């Protein structure tokens, strides 16, 4: 077996490994739609390698040569679709389809051209380079600057450059004189070796990106309350504590807001749990709408919610809480899911030096109980405990 044939056998094995890996990911996690397309693409890579092995034994090499080109082009097309599906962008069907059909037509026209022709080599390799440029466009449309995405972008550029330089390398070294003699040429050994490096690099990066995003999605699902669409208690405590620590390190303020629905048990008893669920979902939407996008908003359980506002002071927090309280009162019966008007109560506490998240939550909760005891449907602020810090007391709170 020639050196090129040996490397080609390795490439076959690598393509099989990645096809299996992407297939396992797609089967394990139904949301990994892109992995299905990538598994198909790498699966075609196996077929492409098999065709390369039978090429030397063909009397008329043209049908197999055309099949090799078409199969590899199909594999690149499927990989681009897989990347687009993974990133959640619409595949550029027109660009992919036009390039695919045009490339096949051109390849049919150049089958009988001399193999040592630079023009033939450029026309043969150009569609592969253009497919990688389409992949770059897909990645850029995602507008992600994360390290792995940027590495994949750079690797696609390197792969495109590799296909652009191949025709010149083939002319310099010779590509075997005939399709049957390709695997015995020095050019084939170099081409297959660079192909192996790029095959492994591209496959590993795409697999890492899919697994990274799959883990992130599973984590987000495990930390999301399905009813309100907000963070659940675990997710809130985790993200709120990270935001609190960042605020502490930056010397910035932070405010905790705790809220719940008034007379929620009465809603459940009078209208049923379905109506109660609708009320919770409506309150979640109101809270998300009322607070700054940097706020960490979560449902602690039952009808109780919490919001951490990093970088905000009491005035900002109180204003947002009053907005949420007013918006909930003004929801239409269709929006809130029941005829009865829904009201809410809020407790607010500004973070004090050395205070933990649990302590901050506890003081905001105390302010919430104050709001409840004073008639509900109001916002109350926790009294100050730290020395030298001046804040408004609960006697100055607003009422509907």
Q: What is the pLDDT of residues 259-305, one digit of tens each?
A: 999 999 888 888 888 888 999 999 999 999 999 889 999 999 999 99
What does the pLDDT read at residue 396? 37
Q: How far apart are CA 115 and CA 174, in angstroms?
A: 8
Helix (H) or strand (E) holding 81: helix 62-87
Distance of CA 131 to the CA centre of its chain: 23
The architecture in CATH of the region 3-222 reads Up-down Bundle (1.20)
Neighbours of 83 (CB within 10 A): 25
Neighbours of 112 (CB within 10 A): 8
What does the pLDDT read at residue 116? 83
Whether the CB-CB separation of 86 and 148 falls below 8 Å is answered with no
State which residues of the chain have pLDDT below 50.
387-400
Give domain limits for the chain.
Answer: 3-222, 233-396
Helix H, strand E, coil C: the string for 203-225 is: HHHHHHHHHHHHHHHHHHHHCEC
Helix (H) or strand (E) holding 306: strand 304-310
Distance of CA 164 to the CA centre of its chain: 31
What does the pLDDT read at residue 389? 42
Neighbours of 361 (CB within 10 A): 21
**Which pair of structure tokens corresponds to residue 41?**
């693409």
- Give the residue from 237, 274, 155 showing the smallest Cα distance to 204: 155
Distance of CA 309 to the CA centre of its chain: 25
Q: Is the dihedral of CA 112, 118, 123, 124 positive or negative?
A: positive
The catalytic position among 52, 223, 303, 370 is 303
233-396 fold: Alpha-Beta Plaits (3.30.70)
What does the pLDDT read at residue 1? 65
Give yes or no: 330 in active site: no
Listing DSSP states for 265-280 in one string gives HHHHHHH-HHHHHHHH
């Amino acid at each position: 077996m020639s050196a090129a044939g040996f490397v080609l056998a390795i490439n076959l094995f690598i393509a099989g490994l990645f096809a299996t890996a992407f297939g396992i990911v797609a089967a394990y996690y139904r949301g990994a739609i892109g992995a299905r397309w990538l598994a198909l693409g790498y699966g075609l890579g196996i077929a492409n390698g098999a065709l390369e092995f039978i090429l030397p034994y063909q009397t008329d090499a043209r049908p197999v040569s055309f099949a090799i080109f078409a199969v590899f082009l199909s594999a690149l097309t499927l990989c681009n679709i897989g990347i687009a599906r993974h990133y959640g962008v619409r595949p550029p069907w027109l660009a992919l389809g036009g390039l695919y059909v045009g490339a096949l037509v051109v390849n049919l026209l150049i089958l009988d051209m001399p193999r040592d022709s630079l023009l033939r080599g450029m026309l043969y390799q150009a569609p592969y380079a253009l497919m990688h440029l389409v992949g770059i466009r897909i990645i850029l449309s995602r507008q992600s600057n994360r390290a792995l995405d940027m590495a994949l972008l750079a690797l696609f550029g390197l792969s495109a450059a590799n296909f652009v330089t191949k025709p010149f390398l083939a002319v310099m070294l010779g590509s075997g004189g005939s399709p049957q003699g390709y695997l015995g040429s020095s050019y084939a050994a170099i081409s297959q070796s660079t192909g192996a490096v790029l095959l492994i690099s591209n496959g590993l990066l795409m697999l890492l990106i899919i697994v990274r995003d799959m883990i992130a999605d599973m984590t987000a699902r495990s930390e999301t309350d399905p009813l309100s669409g907000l963070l659940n208690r675990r997710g809130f405590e985790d993200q709120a504590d990270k935001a609190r620590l960042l605020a502490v390190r930056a010397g910035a303020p932070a405010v905790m807001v705790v809220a719940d629905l008034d007379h929620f048990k009465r809603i459940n008893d009078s209208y049923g749990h379905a109506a109660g669920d609708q009320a919770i979902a409506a309150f979640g939407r109101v809270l998300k709408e009322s607070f700054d996008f940097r706020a960490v908003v979560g449902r602690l359980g039952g009808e109780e919610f919490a919001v951490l506002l990093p970088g905000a002071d009491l005035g900002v927090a109180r204003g947002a809480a009053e907005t949420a309280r007013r918006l909930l009162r003004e929801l239409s019966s269709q929006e809130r899911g029941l005829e009865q008007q829904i009201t809410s109560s809020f407790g607010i506490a500004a973070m004090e030096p050395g205070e933990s998240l649990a302590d901050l939550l506890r003081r905001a909760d105390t302010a919430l109980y104050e709001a409840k005891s004073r008639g509900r449907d109001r916002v109350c602020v926790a009294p100050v405990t730290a020395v030298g810090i001046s804040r408004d007391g609960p006697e100055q709170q607003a009422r509907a």
